[in-house]
Amino acid sequence: MPFIKIGFGNMVSAGRVMAVVNPDSSPIRRLIQEARDRGSLIDATSGRKMRSVLIMDSDHLVLSALATSALAEELGIESGTGES
């Protein structure tokens, strides 16, 4: 199973990533806090600013300092802003 680089020498299994989202919205912030409370949050930012959140199939959230567009490239997905 291939791995993707999520920054600072950290990698996750590409097949287990369900979504890569921007952390700026309130619902995502709530998901992060809930994951922190239940112990299923993995912080891979190495103290840097969080720029994306990976939602895994195991109900874990992985925080990354790489932008969502960079992670989409790693996954081989064309990324769009979703804004018009």
Quickly tell me which residue has 């239940």 as its tokens.
38
**DSSP line for 28-74:** HHHHHHHHHHHT-EEE-STTS---EEEEETTS-EEEESS-HHHHHHH
Phi, psi dihedrals of residue 22, rounded to the nearest 5°: -80, 135
Q: What is the pLDDT along the chain (84 residues), one digit of tens a residue?
A: 799 999 999 999 999 999 999 999 999 999 999 999 999 999 999 999 999 999 999 999 999 999 999 999 998 887 666 554
Nearest to 64 by CA among 31, 20, 14, 2: 20
Tokens of 68: 């969502």
